[in-house]
Amino acid sequence: MPGDALSQDPAELRRRIDTTRAHPARVYDVFLGGKDNYPVDRAAAAAALAANPRGYLDVRHNRDFLRRAVHTLTGEEGIHQYLDIGTGLPTQENVHQIAQRIAPDSRVVYVDNDPVVLAHARALLTSGPRGRTDYIDADLHDPARILEAAARTLDLGQPVALVLVAVLHFVEDERAYPIVRELIGALPSGSRLVLSHLTEDLNPENVRAVQRTYTERGFTFVLRTKAEVERFLTGNGLEVDEPGVVPAHHWRPDGAAPAPEPAEAGYLDTLDDIEKVRYCDINDVTDADINVYAVTGRKP
C-alpha cells in the first residue's frame, strides 16, 4: 500500500520544490536521460560533464551495478525484501521490477527526500499482485523514522537488502557511519548491504574536477577511499561478498548492460552534450572512466 506521503496536497508539494538549487536525485535523472528535472539540474549535470566528458559512465555503470546486484541477491541468495534509500526518480528497471520478475512476492520500500521524487512516486508503486511496494518521504539522516515506516511493508524479522547506492557521498563522515550502523543494526541475520560510492582512488583528476562543480552548488560531496568504503561493511560486522570493493563495472559483470537507443542519422548533431548522453553506449567503458566503488555484504 502507498505510504501516507502520497496523500500530500499537490499545492504543498509544489511549494516544497526548490527550482533554484540543483538536487542530486534530479541531476542523476539528467544523466539517465530522464525528463523530471529543471534547468538548474541540467546546468549542474552539464558542468560535471564538461569537467569529465565521460563522467556519464559513472552514473550509468552505477545503475547497472544495482541491476546486477538485485538480480544476484534475488535469484541466487533468496532475498525478497529491499529497503532502497536515496531512490531517485523512477526510471527503467527499478528495484521492484527486477526483483518481482524473479520472485513475484518481493517487497520493496523506496526512500527519498526530494519532493519531485515524491510527486512521481506512484510509478514506483506498480507492484505485481503478489508483491508489495511502498514509498517513504524521508531523509537518510533520520534512520529511526525510515525503519519505523519501512516496518509497515517489510518484515524486519526476515532478511532485508539495504540499498545505499550513490547516496553516502552526500553525507559527512561524522553522520554517515553512525547512520549506516543504525540501519544495519535493525536488520536480522542474513540481511545484505548493497553499496556504491564515489572515490578519488581510481582517476583522481577527473573526479576532483566533478567534485568542484558540485560543491560550488552547495552539495556535500565526500570522496572516500577503498578502505573507507569497506569500513561501512567491516565496521558493522558484515562479511564482504566476492569480488570485494571494486570499480562498479568490475562487480560481477554479465555482459547485459543496456544498449543505447538508436538515433536517426544527423539527429545527434542537433543535441547538446548532455542530451547526447542517453544515446551513448556504456559498453565501451575502460578503467580510466570509472570513479565508483561497488560492493555487497552479508550480516552473519
Digit-coded pLDDT (tens) for 94-138: 999 999 999 999 999 999 988 888 888 877 778 888 999 999 999
- Please, what is the Cα angle at 157 between 127 and 176, to 5 degrees? 85
Query: Mean pLDDT over residues 217-241, rounded?
Result: 95
Averaged pLDDT for residues 37-55: 91
**Which pLDDT value is given to residue 10?**
65
The Cα 234–Cα 201 span in angstroms is 19
Tell me the three state secondary structure of residue 285: coil
Give the count of beta carbons closer than 10 Å to the beta carbon of residue 72: 19
Q: What is the pTM of this model?
A: 0.91
Mean pLDDT of the 84-96 span: 88
Q: How confident is the model at residue 90 (pLDDT cuts 50, 70, 90)?
A: confident
Contacts 24+ apart (CB under 8 A), 13-17: 13/115, 13/118, 13/119, 16/115, 17/115, 17/116, 17/119
At 232 the pLDDT is 98
What share of the chain has pLDDT > 90, as a percent?
Answer: 65
Q: What is the mean pLDDT of residues 67-90?
A: 95
Distance CA 19, CA 21 (A): 6
Is the distance from CB of 153 to CB of 109 less than 8 angstroms? yes
Ramachandran angles phi, psi of 198, nearest 5°: -70, 145
pLDDT digits (tens, 9 = 90+) for 237-284: 999 999 999 999 999 999 898 888 788 878 888 988 888 888 889 999
